[in-house]
Structure 1
């Protein structure tokens, strides 16, 4: 490779980023500039990732990169190994399986020092005195990367050790993995590395996911694995992945290397790379990044044990996640003599760390905005094992609980799992902060003022808040909403991010085939199906519509009660709290939520925009018979031949009132098969008569309601 530190490359030292207009360049000038930019960018990547000594500012680097991309696009000069491939290529249908040139075996491991000493004894009995290389056991995803004539041609996950998934397109997006090697490299090179997500980047990435209403990754390893195995390389490119290399699997001439390489060694040969430590020195010469700070060569296994203990003590200060130390025989000839088992190398052993448990540190507190606008503080944690489950976040519930515990960023806390499922912060075990976390005065998603209702906080932005919009759109088309198949959370997020649903959920009904086909990964069939589902959802019944638009505390059951009472959407929108509380089962809190929702002009505008686009909530017929007038009936359990909705509609169609809960106003509780206990207890407490299904149908007959009993 050319010495790019030479003065004839203008983009290496103090580059001038005041570029000529693209239109002013000839084809030849553009090609020359592209070649110089690629060379310089590769050099800057090497200085930043391998040498850890950059010579230009990040902003200057970005300008060089943007210029290269601009020229490649304008003059059609992109190549497969250009640095710009880091932005990702075309989405894949699936990850193909490929065979490794050399098996990628696992490493035997234990968390007990005596097991490590036993390993040392076995090694010395077999080959005599040895030295060991000790290095971090990175907690990421192992990959094999292959270079031919210095160019990256393939990358694969470890898989089962014999075959792995082809992740070449995704690996090309990782800046710390060079597309081309430096220096005097072999014609063919297969190296093993670990793709990981740095600790700080992991927490920032999880913060973004939580703020967007998505579940965070449990730990950096899961984040790295999930990011590297994406079918869309552009998604991988957006993830903060890096890589360390630590082993040469095979090297030499391409046609000979696979047949001649000893899988137990996987090196050039003892003359070329006689030791593991010589590999560690050679890899950076080829532009491949290694971990320098934590690396030890020793001939005493006790030093290796101490090295692991020191790293364990410094675990939380490391910029990357590790789960132990790998101890490898340094001499490659000795490695070849020790050989392998079917599954692991006999010349390497991992001395693992104990799992983190229960007590951990709060790295950050983010505020998540839910569908109804409620703000929930979420603690992002150093991943910790709680009852066998890795936990990286825990709800802090509300401001009152935060204040009571005095919890803030940096504090060490003890976690518990409610019902052995949901993690929560039980107490602060060691405070490293002054005061406690305070909820924001403005919504973190839209900047609207935050209102407080007792211990809870709410965004006042309504359906026009972006965070509420994604969640609201997903709920709007979900099972409890309009039941629009294909409108899942990922689709909702895509539509909002693309600006196709920008103002509120009514934008959904403005979507066109042209709009959706421009989205990456969308085909004609999926677009057509979604549009047909949207069109078919334009005439929901009133109860479904009320549940779908996301009124706080109004789920399907309450929505049905309200719809049956008022009959049409205009009556619901104009109702006051007294009107709503006249409905059995609607108390002051729900009534206030409904009137507040429709008292918000932005929410009323959303309803009007929906109606303008042809969404027509179907009125419920309220002119019922009067045979059951004045009666309030509640059902529990199942009645053969009827659904709960059938029975409630039957009562209401004859002037009665069917509600979901028992109160002092209830006349009858109908008890079917497998009934709930709470309603029967409420009936006893309120002296409400209970009927079995047979008695219920007899009562209907006595009142003149003709119906066939099952």
Structure 2
């Protein structure tokens, strides 16, 4: 039986084209916002939300858009304008998925149900053994072994996640982690367009609680394009789509995630609780579950088959192997699942894996060739990555001429050098790697350079990794440093994005961070695509950053592991830049959120000769951060001597809440300690901070109680 048999017919849409004017041939010549009454704006905003959800579903899930990109953009901008002008934003509005406030750590959350592993093999005999065991054990449990059916699905090579909906509304997402708890990536996953903020259908008739399992991935074509952009910016490309997806989802800044082309397939129901008026019954089989997932607006894969014989499942895997290179997503095999959910319950699980599922994987694709040279690439963080240049060889239908050697420790372990014959492994990897030397033809291992090949600064080792110590003075790291300097959570310089930074570098106008403040209006105006107005705008933006708040300045420098919260804690503790520059590691360790490792990294960065020179140059050019002051950035004292930690989602971005506390003389830190006065718990909180609060006897309060605490001190919540 093919996947088509799982169809459920026309499901309820987000927006009815007969009733909503913004679905089919929508108008985009809107009346000025200021001419609308509040009630008219509210009604139009709700219609736009419904229509945009429908367009998102048709584009990202059904792959059948019904409006042009420009029309969609016009509808989206209109909704944003209405929400801004009349304060109409809702938590599930499409406008709220395009990023969010950065976090300083990924907190742990418990899964609604265990997310276990699946036993796997590349041997068909093991698949037959799985089938025999399933039928034998089901027979012993009173099931008809002849009635066993299997659902066959692609085995995606991405990152497994749990997504939770309550009354049809998106509330949480977490990585698989150890199967019981995972990293809270709610805001990161919110930015993925194929993850609906609201399920299709009347919320009263949907499950009151639904947890589904999916796989986040980066489409191959989008991955290739994104890697090309990274290389053009002088940054390290990702080795493969899986690494790209996993690395992106663990980004602490949702804005960064929103810029990257992630997608998702959903394939299992983990937990289900009926609503009070629910008309949707919990699925009784995996095949039915996939249909239900789709009817709710969740994207599922279209290459699914229901089979009655294990030989059919093996044949499915073999057919899938033949077309894997034609797919726009990476797969490494097939997952075979018992269809009947009651039968699954009877089969149960082991401590680590499901006994009702089995993965029949594809064989890895390898070949042998000769290393012709080894080159060293310098990444955005100064990391040095060795790359083997190979005699071109065909690996699984792809000509391979380069392979990563990861780091100097890997070179030493492999004992690889120019001239050696090596095995190349490319199990779906866009950048293959070398797992072994098969014929040693050289003397010893490749000798890793002791100086940076770009700026000639000394190379230092941190465990297996090598780094250029040039810091802000290394051209290979400069563009990324400038982009970081201009980020919203740093100095927030509008118009200084990656393309502009590259253009300034190529024109020879910016060869150090300090050169930003030497830019000349006439030279800028002569650049392609520029003029007097754009040059003046950038210079005004830069001028506005010459006396930045100390926390923003520290965050902008790009010190390893120093995000917005740690920068604020450093600024509060030391007060001035000079005090921080002269601080010892021991003094650094006394700052909240700064442990032994981070203190050493801060001290190493500040001791770097070129970093010191860059900071001195900036100060000579008038870029000198204002002292933090004893009572916070704005001098308020209402929360003096009060230390607050936040966890979970609040009605405003966490960064705004922390800024409010700091403006009124309090301290907002990222971790709970004995010095913490209150832990404020929002929606979908993590578990680690709550455990720490209990251990330290710290009072926990919800957002309503926090609002009351502020009101007692004359502070308005939420902040304006």
TM-score w.r.t. length of structure 1: 0.57
Q: How does 1:289-300 map to 2 (within 5 A)?
A: 289-292=299-302, 294-300=303-309
1:223 partnered with 2:244: yes
Q: Distance in 2 between matches of 1:68 and 1:32?
A: 11
1:412 partnered with 2:423: no
Q: Distance in 1 between matches of 2:619 and 2:105?
A: 42
1:91 partnered with 2:102: yes
Aligned equivalent of 2:193, options 175, 184, 190: 175
Deviations 1:285-331 (A, max 9, x none): 11111111x11111111111121122122221111011111000111
Q: Distance in 2 between matches of 1:335 and 1:256?
A: 28
Q: How does 1:618-657 map to 2 (within 5 A)?
A: none
Q: Distance in 1 between matches of 2:419 and 2:15?
A: 53
Deviations 1:257-310 (A, max 9, x none): 9xxxxxxxxxx98xx422111111121111111111x11111111111121122
Cα–Cα, structure 1 residues 356 and 516, in superposed 2: closer, same or farther, change >3 Å? farther
Identify the residue that residue 137 of structure 1 maps to in structure 2: 155
Tell me how far 1:74 sits from its aligned partner: 2.1
1:211 partnered with 2:232: yes
Identify the residue that residue 208 of structure 2 maps to in structure 1: 187
Deviations 1:573-593 (A, max 9, x none): xxxxxxxxxxxxxxxxxxxxx
SS at match of 1:214: coil
Alignment check: 8 A CA contact 1:414 1:426 kept: no
1:517 partnered with 2:560: no
Tell me how far 1:492 sits from its aligned partner: 4.2
Q: Distance in 1 between matches of 2:75 and 2:93?
A: 13
Deviations 1:319-346 (A, max 9, x none): 1011111000111221121111121111
Alignment check: 8 A CA contact 2:14 2:50 kept: no
Cα–Cα, structure 1 residues 120 and 211, in superposed 2: closer, same or farther, change >3 Å? same
Cα–Cα, structure 1 residues 212 and 37, in superposed 2: closer, same or farther, change >3 Å? same
Deviations 1:69-103 (A, max 9, x none): 22222222111111112111211232221111211
Cα–Cα, structure 1 residues 186 and 4, in superposed 2: closer, same or farther, change >3 Å? same
SS at match of 1:513: coil
Q: How does 1:392-403 map to 2 (within 5 A)?
A: none
Tell me how far 1:349 sits from its aligned partner: 0.3
Deviations 1:213-259 (A, max 9, x none): 222222212211121122221111111111111111121237999xx
Query: What RMSD in Å do the two structures reach over aligned CA positions?
Result: 4.8
Q: Distance in 2 between matches of 1:124 and 1:228?
A: 39
SS at match of 1:145: strand
Alignment check: 8 A CA contact 2:164 2:173 kept: yes
TM-score w.r.t. length of structure 2: 0.56
Identify the residue that residue 667 of structure 2 maps to in structure 1: none
Identify the residue that residue 123 of structure 1 maps to in structure 2: 134
Alignment check: 8 A CA contact 1:415 1:425 kept: no
Cα–Cα, structure 1 residues 611 and 514, in superposed 2: closer, same or farther, change >3 Å? closer
Q: Which runs of 5+ in 2 are unaligned?
A: 1-11, 139-144, 370-376, 406-410, 424-453, 458-466, 505-509, 518-544, 557-562, 583-607, 624-720
SS at match of 2:333: strand
Q: Distance in 2 between matches of 1:151 and 1:3?
A: 13
Alignment check: 8 A CA contact 1:413 1:426 kept: no
Identify the residue that residue 283 of structure 1 maps to in structure 2: 293
Deviations 1:506-532 (A, max 9, x none): 347784324973979544455789954
Aligned equivalent of 1:495, options 485, 493, 499: 485
Aligned equivalent of 1:354, options 355, 363, 366: 363
Alignment check: 8 A CA contact 1:103 1:162 kept: yes
Tell me how far 1:356 sits from its aligned partner: 3.1
Deviations 1:357-382 (A, max 9, x none): 3489xxxxxxx9999xxxxxxxxxxx
SS at match of 2:261: coil
User: Across the two proteins, how many residue pairs are aligned to each other?
Assistant: 467
Identify the residue that residue 272 of structure 2 maps to in structure 1: 251
SS at match of 2:321: helix
Tell me how far 1:22 sits from its aligned partner: 2.2
1:198 partnered with 2:209: no
- The structure with the larger Rg is 1
Higher mean alpha-carbon deviation, 339-348 vs 52-61, is at 52-61
Identify the residue that residue 21 of structure 2 maps to in structure 1: 10
Identify the residue that residue 327 of structure 1 maps to in structure 2: 336
Q: Which runs of 5+ in 1 are unaligned?
A: 258-267, 361-367, 372-390, 430-467, 472-476, 537-546, 551-605, 616-710
SS at match of 2:187: helix
Identify the residue that residue 67 of structure 2 maps to in structure 1: 56
Q: How does 1:330-349 map to 2 (within 5 A)?
A: 330-349=339-358
Q: Distance in 1 between matches of 2:471 and 2:190?
A: 42
Alignment check: 8 A CA contact 2:169 2:197 kept: yes
Cα–Cα, structure 1 residues 5 and 483, in superposed 2: closer, same or farther, change >3 Å? closer
Q: Distance in 2 between matches of 1:277 and 1:423?
A: 52
Between the two structures, name the one with larger relative contact order (CA 8 Å, sep ≥ 6). Answer: 2
Cα–Cα, structure 1 residues 57 and 19, in superposed 2: closer, same or farther, change >3 Å? same
Alignment check: 8 A CA contact 1:482 1:548 kept: no
1:163 partnered with 2:181: yes
Cα–Cα, structure 1 residues 248 and 370, in superposed 2: closer, same or farther, change >3 Å? closer
Q: Distance in 2 between matches of 1:358 and 1:40?
A: 51
Q: Distance in 2 between matches of 1:513 and 1:19?
A: 40
Identify the residue that residue 274 of structure 1 maps to in structure 2: 284
